[in-house]
Amino acid sequence: MTIASTVMKGHGTGNDFIVYADPNGEYNPTVEEVQQLCDRHFGIGADGVLRLTRPEYVDHIDKNIAQALQDAQVQWVMDYRNADGSIAQMCGNGTRVSALFLHTQGLSPQGPIALGTRAGVKVLTPRGAVSGLGEHVYTVAMGQWHASSAAEHQISVHQGSVFDGRYVDMGNPHIVTVLNTDTNQWQRAEQTLRELDLSVAPQVTPGLEEGQNVEFVAVEAPGLASMRVHERGVGETLSCGTGLCASAITLRAQTGIDSWKIRILGGTVQVDVDEHNVSLTGDAQLVASVTLL
Ligand SMILES: N[C@@H](CCC[C@H](N)C(=O)O)C(=O)O
């Protein structure tokens, strides 16, 4: 695939992406092209592709959301693809990398960006001035969340253990299991978390028709937790922004605590939840500019 504009590689807490701007709707990759770009041996390698385009060039989008993007007059929409070529509604870490790309490429003025996604408009606020490559911190307001009030799913992992999981809708689907809320149980929960074999997708019963991202969380102290994730369309990743938000929402339901610092394999983020909104603060980094041959 050729893309006649700047293509970059970046990541947010180790969740890595290939990112480019496609303002004229000319470079809409096929499933095979996404798979090839994301292949870690035969391609550039990434968990997903972020195609930044105009609202009219995004397909597989809900009619009402497409209308909302038009009403909000967003300049840019993040058309997100998983490494296996599938389409997802949202990617929390991807929004930060998209914002950094738009800022550093001069495609969006400094300051907050209203970024369109298949899950609606998300506003990203840079924490400090954005100055070229390197690490930058953004807060993304993810907006209204929805969660089931009970753990209605069972998650079995490769080793045979079975956990209860709750459904959380972040625009994309999540099933979250909290391994402990009693901090005296932290060491055991942390060991369980560390030893989970996520090389194979956990089995979820009942599973969601559209598939699911699955998160496992252990609580170390009030407001401090660790998480691992198996992502739909990718596999285990070093971080998942929507999964971190889904985890904090579930932790809040089980502990009453609104504000969480959560460690994942690729770093640490801050998640703040209230009745209506959830916001995610974390890093974004661009690491390379790539020429596709
Ligand atoms: N890594 C992302 C989520 C990407 C989409 C997900 N795999 C899905 O299919 O829903 C994040 O940071 O939120």
SS (H, E, C) the chain: CCCCCCEEEEEECCEEEEEEEECCCCCCCCHHHHHHHHCCCCCCCCCEEEEEECHHHCCCCCHHHHHHHHHCCCCCEEEEEECCCCECCCCHHHHHHHHHHHHHCCCCCCCCEEEEECCEEEEEEECCCCCCCEEEEEEEEEECCEECCCCCEEEECCCCCEEEEEEEECCCEEEEEECCCCHHHHHHHHHHHHHCCCCCCCEEECCCCCCCEEEEEEEEECCEEEEEEEECCCEECCCCHHHHHHHHHHHHHHHCCCEEEEEECCEEEEEEECCCCEEEEEEEEEEEEECCC
The ipTM (two decimal places) reads 0.99
Does residue 227 sit within a domain? yes
> Over the stretch 208-227, which tens digit does the pLDDT of each residue have?
999 999 999 999 999 999 99
Contacts of 40 (CB under 8 A, 6+ apart): none
Does residue 88 sit within a domain? yes
Mark whether 37 and 107 lie in a shared domain: yes
Query: How many separate domains does the chain show?
Result: 2
| Closest ligand 1 atom to Cα of 237 | 1
Q: How many residues does the chain have?
A: 293
Query: Does 1 score more than 80 pLDDT?
Result: no
pLDDT tier for residue 128 given thresholds of 50, 70 and 90: confident
Does the beta carbon of 246 lie inside 6 Å of ligand 1?
no
Mark whether 27 and 93 lie in a shared domain: yes
Mark whether 117 and 243 lie in a shared domain: no
Mark whether 59 and 153 lie in a shared domain: no
What percent of the chain shows pLDDT beyond 90? 93
Mark whether 88 and 204 lie in a shared domain: no
Mark whether 134 and 14 lie in a shared domain: yes
CATH number at residue 122: 3.10.310.10
Does residue 95 sit within a domain? yes
Does residue 51 sit within a domain? yes
Does residue 29 sit within a domain? yes
Mark whether 112 and 38 lie in a shared domain: yes
Mark whether 104 and 212 lie in a shared domain: no
Query: Does 133 score more than 90 pLDDT?
Result: no
CA 38 – ligand 1 centroid, Å: 14
> Over the stretch 242-286, which tens digit does the pLDDT of each residue have?
999 999 999 999 999 999 999 999 999 999 999 999 999 999 999
pLDDT tier for residue 96 given thresholds of 50, 70 and 90: very high
Q: Nearest residue CA, atom 4 of ligand 1?
A: 91
Does the beta carbon of 46 lie inside 6 Å of ligand 1?
no
Mark whether 220 and 168 lie in a shared domain: yes
Reference 232, options 279, 273, 290, 174; nearest CA is 174
Query: Does 62 score more than 80 pLDDT?
Result: yes
Mark whether 11 and 138 lie in a shared domain: yes
> Over the stretch 6-42, which tens digit does the pLDDT of each residue have?
999 999 999 999 999 999 999 999 999 999 999 999 9
pLDDT at 79: 98
Distance between CA atoms of residues 13 and 265, nearest Å: 8
Does residue 2 sit within a domain? no
Does the beta carbon of 229 lie inside 6 Å of ligand 1?
no
Mark whether 150 and 188 lie in a shared domain: yes
CA 88 – ligand 1 centroid, Å: 7
Say if pTM beats, i.e. exceeds, 0.95. yes
What range does the domain containing 63 cover? Answer: 7-142+283-290
Give the mean pLDDT of 170-189.
Answer: 98
Does residue 1 sit within a domain? no
**Catalytically annotated residues:** 91, 240
Mark whether 50 and 173 lie in a shared domain: no
Give the mean pLDDT of 100-124.
Answer: 97
